[in-house]
Structure 1
């Protein structure tokens, strides 16, 4: 994909995130407090399902098929068909929200549910293009979605003020971008081939999905449980402080998505290690720069962003800054694990984070309140990252012992051990 292509892939993630932020802002300006509450619940569910699909299909696609180059039309149809099947399985869960909602919000929930298939399949197209080394096409379809959806949402918001109509425009933009993407891909989804694809890639796909589910479940559960010792205000302060650093989540995710195909294609070469070092430096620089910006954020700006929550959230900036510093090695290790398919190591590190995230904040919240809980989240990430570094060192030493290097072989060669047979499986 090249260095330029890597930046295009990161830019694509930025366009996607910014356009979604603008879409939510337009919806918030149209909706009443009650309507926006229902929208937030439905939208959070949609994002959760989107993340699950990215783990099951998107990451598997990057890890196992990046070395194949451009896939044929049957391969693309199979991947897109897998996304259609995933959407079909998840759609009823959002429809449950429509059933349970009051009469005034049922149509809104139905619109959100109707958006789900188009959003999921369009997102799979993004991963497909990046996997094939064509990130500019991913950027193109996300750009089309942003322009069409934001323009139509703005027009509807100014003229009708109906929340469901605004959401319909957002989903309509996704559908239009999907149509453009299918033309670029030259393929249509095939659910039958998608079923075979999911079966052939159940490992690592189900493992990645399990890791994602465990982490999200622990984060969700701990927030609800923290409301007992901290109250709603304390949980709100934690979430507000996290919001200040949320752009780093987007950046880290974008970098990881962009660099994995490069690492997969350069495995076993000196370029592999250089790419890892570059990734570490970029992620560390972003964490440092954004962290300093947040730490120096003036109170008037903070109050404008967070309102009355700013006062309590501002006191938590330091532990959250250090948490994202600890996320630097964690993010790079995860990209490394994916690129060499060291799946047991990624599961170990992410399971450690899930367990620590669930246990430490609760324990320290009872002992020291909201500030202690914030430091506990930081400690959880730091311990998980250290555990990943130690486990990687042990695994590398063991691999070198079992597979002695030949004269002139690359220093990155031991990382290939878990992949024996995987390349063939990906090509079948």
Structure 2
């Protein structure tokens, strides 16, 4: 996104932000339905047989097939000058989704080195080609095409390493067999991220495309934390599942909190002292408006530290009611607060509203967890903490 922002005008970056937000929405939905279900239900089993791998990858193909028409609809509805950009984003979607499922599959099987390898190939190929295009006055569409091409190359390598090709028919059966908890996870994600997706489009009314672009650009400055938080949660859930009911479980939670907090503090400090010259190099024309939003986004990611750890805890013990509660609160506040405050205080007020929403949801989740654990200990004094949480939260 940084390279895209550097070659785009504020209006172009706003259009890219809308299309890219759609892609991320579908990617996150797949992760909830397939990826998180895979980690929660299959991590304790170790390596999966080829039939199971084909089924999981086939489920990802089905998810891409369902999402692709929606992005194509966006390409049809947008103005002609932005249509090619939307089409390139849509063309990248299937490769991104299936490659992401391969990452989850490798981590579930206890082979994180393979997941790192395919991600590394994607990063090297896409970044090098994107930089080349940007330095040679390439268009926004060409830059995004390089990104999608890197995903396709990484996918090809991942399929060779995984020794399996997607089977949509087997994927249908896999989705049916794992609809619980898959549909619940998808419902949680859909409520939360659909609200974020919808509010971005609604914010274009009071703020304009440039205002939405400023919000997305400010978030871009902290995007390494998004990647880090997601990767840590993805990596720690299998470890928590395997150590559930032991002392190692609690130690893993503490370690996760310390690591996530340290990353948030370090990167937040880096962004806050970022020189204007570097910011302009990263974001181009959008830097001036995005730089004013750094503080609320920094505090938002500070609030994301306990939120991330709580969500990993809920997944590992399948405390589904608690995760649904916390994410529902965040979804509701995300939909209402930014839009309301944007009309009152413009783009800065909208940024602060996102921060308040995350902080409030985290507080609600923490209090609900303490209350459920206290109740479980009273009802079942001889059970371990993870078992207590599972019994209290329900499945």
* CA distance in structure 1 between the aligned counterparts of 2:260 and 2:150, rounded to whole angstroms: 32
- Pairing 1:290–2:264 present: no
Q: How does 1:255-334 map to 2 (within 5 A)?
A: 255-306=232-283, 310=287, 313-334=290-311
* CA distance in structure 1 between the aligned counterparts of 2:18 and 2:238, rounded to whole angstroms: 34
- The equivalent residue for 1:186 is 163
Offset at residue 308 of structure 1 (A): 6.0
- Pairing 1:136–2:113 present: yes
Compared CA separation, residues 306 and 105, structure 1 to 2 (3 A) = closer
Most deviating of 326-335 and 179-188? 179-188
Q: How does 1:110-259 map to 2 (within 5 A)?
A: 110-150=87-127, 170-226=147-203, 235=212, 237-259=214-236
* CA distance in structure 1 between the aligned counterparts of 2:215 and 2:88, rounded to whole angstroms: 31
The counterpart of 2:389, out of the listed 411, 415, 419, is: 415
Q: How does 1:13-92 map to 2 (within 5 A)?
A: 24=4, 29=7, 41-92=18-69
Judge conservation of contact 2:17–2:213 (CA < 8 Å) in 1.
no
* CA distance in structure 2 between the aligned counterparts of 1:249 and 1:262, rounded to whole angstroms: 20
- Pairing 1:351–2:328 present: yes
Offset at residue 70 of structure 1 (A): 0.6
Structure 2 SS opposite 1:405: coil
Compared CA separation, residues 417 and 165, structure 1 to 2 (3 A) = same
* CA distance in structure 2 between the aligned counterparts of 1:236 and 1:107, rounded to whole angstroms: 19
* CA distance in structure 2 between the aligned counterparts of 1:119 and 1:79, rounded to whole angstroms: 15
Compared CA separation, residues 413 and 130, structure 1 to 2 (3 A) = same
Larger-Rg structure: 1
Compared CA separation, residues 226 and 266, structure 1 to 2 (3 A) = same
The counterpart of 2:355, out of the listed 378, 382, 394, is: 378
Judge conservation of contact 2:339–2:350 (CA < 8 Å) in 1.
yes
TM-score w.r.t. length of structure 1: 0.80
- The equivalent residue for 1:425 is none
Most deviating of 87-96 and 100-109? 100-109
- The equivalent residue for 2:70 is 93
TM-score w.r.t. length of structure 2: 0.86
Offset at residue 95 of structure 1 (A): 2.9
Compared CA separation, residues 272 and 219, structure 1 to 2 (3 A) = same
Structure 2 SS opposite 1:268: coil
Offset at residue 302 of structure 1 (A): 4.0
Compared CA separation, residues 67 and 21, structure 1 to 2 (3 A) = farther
Structure 2 SS opposite 1:198: helix
- The equivalent residue for 2:377 is 400
Give the aligned length: 395
* CA distance in structure 2 between the aligned counterparts of 1:284 and 1:139, rounded to whole angstroms: 23
* CA distance in structure 1 between the aligned counterparts of 2:208 and 2:312, rounded to whole angstroms: 37
Judge conservation of contact 1:230–1:369 (CA < 8 Å) in 2.
yes
Judge conservation of contact 2:15–2:209 (CA < 8 Å) in 1.
no
